[in-house]
Amino acid sequence: MKSQNPKDLLKYYWGFDSFRGSQQKVIDALLNGQDAVALLPTGGGKSICFQIPALAQEGICIVISPLVALIQNQVARLKLLGIKAIALTGGIPREEVNNLLDNCLYGNYSFLYISPERLQQELVQERIQRMRVSLIAVDEAHCISQWGHDFRPAYLECGKLRELLPEAPIVALTATATAMVVDDIATHLRLQAPVLVKDSFARKNIAFEVVFAEDKPYRLKQLCATLEKSAIVYVRTRRLAEDLARYLNTAGHKATFFHGGVQKNEKQKRMGLWLENSVKIMVATNAFGMGIDKPDVGLVVHYQIPDCIENYFQEAGRAGRDGAMAKAVLLTNKTDQQGVKDQFISVLPDTQYLKMVYNKLNNYFQIAYGEGNDTSHQLNFNAFCDTYKLNSLLTYNSFRILDQNSVFSLTEAFTQKTMVQLLIGKDPLFQYLEQNKGIVPVVQTLLRTYGGIFDFETKINTLLLAKKAGVPEKQVLATLKQLEKDAVIEYQANESDLSITFLVPREDDTTINRFAREVKERQQIKIDHVHQMLAYVNNADRCRNQQLLAYFGEKTAQECGICDVCKRALALNPSAIASQILKLLADRHRSSRSIIAALNYDEQQVLKGLQHLLEEGQIRINSMNEYELA
């Protein structure tokens, strides 16, 4: 259905009669050949903004997106609608990339979804220039800004698209961006007089709450006990996702977990169970939910404090997409607040630490001053840290910074870990050890160090095991291989976990000085983000919705009336709740359950309001045991 009216396309492919919010403004700008920046809240239908104008014109739309899962999800959806789309992500062999790009040139495809890293390849750039490109869409555009919460240096490559395709309009889309980030987006993408379209970020149907609880598992269980729809519980670690899912299941709630370590087919199975509501609660790490269209999420819980308001708001916004009342609860305590500082601030390396790590890395590989560029080296990260007694998290972050600033290039193996899971029960294991006593010290250390190893795949540190068992690391690795051979464990080995290719000659401090100021600025941004998040958590005097909107530069004098701050204020004034009950009953008579659900206040507060109105004679109970105006 090429060259058609946007509303006809919307009806034909998506079944909707009209556009939502500011979708029409973005679409009109792009069809007029103008650049645009679209700031639409989570669930605001950003993809429609570029999919409709792309379908309304001849040619192909290039979409830049940061997550493989997000790309695959959108391409699969388009294919279901009968729209031709291709995904070009990492891990695809060069020959296949060649064939896919040929399909884009000659196969009448409407969309090419591509990761920003792919834009660095000359083959891709050369082929894109030969395509008839109608539109360029940069999704999650805040990733291009160093002031944004999720800066990705590879996104800077997106600016080359203006050079490669000067005639194609560009639309940048994001759900979370401050004014400074918007300016940065426009600069890096080289947008020409872009049309800025911004919908209010206000989510009037979400009750934002911060709940202080020393016993967080028990409080989570209480929240899930009142759950009528589905829920997402966000955590920061894989282990905690697994532990909480197990805890909730033991408590009688249907829950599962989702994180990067779950096998692909198992992920699809769990996602399916959750989407069809066979499992109500998904306990997941923070990437979960991007691009997933599930409108009936009634509760989003952050079990730990996120690192910034942008991430929190985006994740919380996955609740209530159907327009019904929903809750976004952040569970916390004082220990938690120190934990977020430890995790996100104390592990940021300063310039001196960067210089020291770079110096020791060159010494480790015996690289002379002025040499080393274009040489590749294999490295066991744990062994390197142990040799120089380095903090592994600080060193990990140092490596990432050196990689981002093109001092050297890291392979993806850096993020891979050695994983182990026991395949037999405790009794068969003890019988096995009786016959293989030489490996008992290592296996006992393994069991004591990693408690959940019988139940799920567990990331292990072989160097740590060697130290605890008092044996060489080689002996630990040999033991693991023997256990795998004898079908006692499932073992994913990653002994040389890092390959480094130096991109510049060794110049010690001078190498780091070139980007030291930028690193310091970015570190300060991360620190500010954490402090702004903690300020939100601890501000119990101002409406939560007002706080969140103010962060994104949106001012409103109206309080939401449903967050924890507003509800506390209302609790001190029962007449305020009573007046809202009267408004509801002016429309129709209702049961107490219906009134409680509509107002989204604590049940006891609503019941007190009803009692007050009954005593005042302003309402009565009818023969169907419902409340109505007197």
Q: Tell me the β-bridge partners of 458.
A: 420
pLDDT value of position 509:
94
Residue type, 93: P
- Classified by CATH at the fold level, domain 573-629 comes out as Arc Repressor Mutant, subunit A (1.10.10)
pLDDT value of position 553:
86
Average pLDDT over residues 522-526: 87
Strands (E), 336-399: 376-379
Average pLDDT taken over every residue of the chain = 87
State the pLDDT confidence band at 624, using cuts at 50, 70 and 90: confident
CA 487 to chain centre: 36
State the pLDDT confidence band at 506, using cuts at 50, 70 and 90: very high
pLDDT value of position 615:
85
CA 223, 226, 232 angle in degrees (round to 5)? 55
- Look at residues 291, 308, 447, 311 and name the one whose alpha carbon lies nearest to residue 300: 311
pLDDT value of position 602:
67
Give the model confidence (pLDDT) of 458-496 as tens digits. Answer: 878 787 788 888 888 888 888 988 998 888 888 877 655
43 pLDDT above the threshold of 80: no
DSSP letters for 538-574: H--SS-HHHHHHHHTT---S---SSSHHHHHHHHT-H
Give the model confidence (pLDDT) of 59-69 as tens digits. Answer: 999 999 887 77
151 pLDDT above the threshold of 90: no
CA distances from residue 261 to 92, 421, 492 in whole angstroms, order as listed: 21, 12, 12
Domain boundaries, the chain: 6-198, 206-341+539-551, 345-415+498-525, 418-492, 573-629
pLDDT value of position 176:
79
Selection from 20-34, 380-394, 565-579, 580-594 with the highest mean pLDDT = 20-34
Run of H or E including 309: helix 309-316
pLDDT value of position 195:
94
Average pLDDT over residues 338-347: 85
Ranges 107-111, 291-295, 515-519: which has the least confidence: 291-295
> Where do we find the tokens 């899971």?
421
Rounded distance between C-alpha atoms, residue 17 and residue 22, angstroms: 15
Q: Tell me the β-bridge partners of 331.
A: 211
pLDDT value of position 118:
83
264 pLDDT above the threshold of 80: no
143 pLDDT above the threshold of 60: yes
Dig out the tokens for 439 from the structure: 């490996």
Say which residue, 527 or 293, is predicted with more confidence.
527
pLDDT value of position 51:
95
Ranges 240-244, 408-412, 550-554, 583-587: which has the least confidence: 408-412
% of the chain surpassing 70 pLDDT:
94
- Classified by CATH at the fold level, domain 206-341+539-551 comes out as Rossmann fold (3.40.50)
> Where do we find the tokens 């490109």?
133
Q: Tell me the β-bridge partners of 36.
A: 171, 195
pLDDT value of position 286:
79
Q: Tell me the β-bridge partners of 37.
A: 172, 196
Dig out the tokens for 392 from the structure: 């592994």
Neighbours of 572 (CB within 10 A): 7
Rounded distance between C-alpha atoms, residue 42 and residue 54, angstroms: 22
State the pLDDT confidence band at 233, using cuts at 50, 70 and 90: very high
3 pLDDT above the threshold of 60: no
Ranges 77-86, 365-374, 465-474: which has the least confidence: 465-474
Tell me if the domain spanning 345-415+498-525 has CATH number 1.10.10. Answer: yes
Q: Tell me whether the CATH fold assigned to 345-415+498-525 matches the one assigned to 573-629.
A: yes
pLDDT value of position 277:
92
Residue 359, C-beta contacts closer than 8 angstroms, at least 6 positions apart: 508
Q: Tell me the β-bridge partners of 301.
A: 233, 329
Average pLDDT over residues 174-201: 89
227 pLDDT above the threshold of 80: yes
Q: Tell me the β-bridge partners of 112.
A: 62, 86
Residue 545, C-beta contacts closer than 8 angstroms, at least 6 positions apart: 202, 203, 204, 208, 556, 559, 560, 563
Neighbours of 10 (CB within 10 A): 22
Dig out the tokens for 519 from the structure: 């690193």
96 pLDDT above the threshold of 90: no
Q: Tell me the β-bridge partners of 326.
A: 206
> Where do we find the tokens 């408004």?
583
Rounded distance between C-alpha atoms, residue 109 and residue 20, angstroms: 27
Rounded distance between C-alpha atoms, residue 289 and residue 572, angstroms: 37
329-364 core/surface letters (b: 16 or more CB in 10 A; e: else): bbbbbeebbeebeebbeeebbebebbbbbbbbbbee
DSSP letters for 382-431: HHHHHHHT--HHHHHHHHHHHHHTTSEEE-GGGG--EEEEE-S-HHHHHH
Dig out the tokens for 409 from the structure: 């290039």
235 pLDDT above the threshold of 90: yes
pLDDT value of position 291:
60
2 pLDDT above the threshold of 60: no
Dig out the tokens for 235 from the structure: 């955590």
Dig out the tokens for 57 from the structure: 């014109």
* Phi-psi region at 280: left, alpha or beta (left = phi > 0; alpha = psi -120 to 50): alpha
Rounded distance between C-alpha atoms, residue 585 and residue 579, angstroms: 10
117 pLDDT above the threshold of 70: yes
Ranges 39-53, 193-207, 403-417, 588-602: which has the least confidence: 403-417
CA 14 to chain centre: 26
Residue 346, C-beta contacts closer than 8 angstroms, at least 6 positions apart: none
pLDDT value of position 410:
78
Average pLDDT over residues 566-576: 74
Q: CA 347, 348, 349, 350 torsion: positive or negative? A: negative
Average pLDDT over residues 301-316: 92
Are the C-beta atoms of residues 58 and 4 closer than 8 Å to each other?
no
Neighbours of 258 (CB within 10 A): 22
Rounded distance between C-alpha atoms, residue 445 and residue 442, angstroms: 5
Run of H or E including 449: helix 440-449
pLDDT value of position 72:
81
State the pLDDT confidence band at 115, using cuts at 50, 70 and 90: confident
Strands (E), 118-204: 133-138, 170-174, 195-198
| pTM of the shown model | 0.73
pLDDT value of position 338:
86
CA 177 to chain centre: 15
- Classified by CATH at the fold level, domain 6-198 comes out as Rossmann fold (3.40.50)
Calculate Rg over the CA atoms of the chain: 28
